[in-house]
Amino acid sequence: MKGILFALAGGFFLTFQSVANATIGQQIGTWQAAAMTQFTGFVLAVIIVLTMRDKTWKDLGQVPKLYASGGAFAAIVLFSNMTSVYLMGVTLTISLFLIAQLVVAVIIDRFGLFDMSQKQISKTQMLGLLLMVAGVVVLKG
């Protein structure tokens, strides 16, 4: 249940962030908005770490470089998200982002990439993904 609540919160805030970033990007530029978003996210995360008094941040040097590059991926995600919101609107952008995430997640799960455990993908899961694609086609109208 806790995982579901966090996933729902993440989806809610991703949508809100998409709208806010697109608006900010129109005012100051897309990459500038991405930089501002990354910076404010960094500041909040540091405040939370310091507040929790969790000392595991001292082990950051042990994180493999591929996984440590997640912030760089986030900058590309922000830029792509803002640009698509400008061009297509929030609904279609979030729908396509979700489908792209699910396709990559299925590939990661199926082949056990990035040190994840390998999982079988069922026919019903694939059908669900295809129905989502069909839903986006309907949304696009």
Residue 116 structural domain: 89-141
Please check whether residues 25 and 80 belong to one and the same domain.
yes
Domain stops at, among 43, 62, 88: 88
Residues 68 and 109 placed together within one structural domain of the fold: no
Contacts (Cβ under 8 Å, ≥6 apart) of 26:
86
Q: How many structural domains comprise the chain?
A: 2
Q: Is 56 helix (H, G, I), strand (E, B) or coil?
A: helix
The predicted model scores a pTM of 0.78
Q: Tell me what pLDDT residue 139 has.
A: 83
What is the pLDDT at residue 140?
A: 82
What pLDDT sits at residue 43?
95
Block mean pLDDT (10 aa), the chain, length 141: 90 89 92 92 91 82 84 89 92 91 92 91 91 89 75
Buried-exposed string 44-63: b where 16+ CB fall within 10 A, e elsewhere: eeeeeeeeeeeeeeeeeeee
Residue 24 and residue 78 share a domain: yes
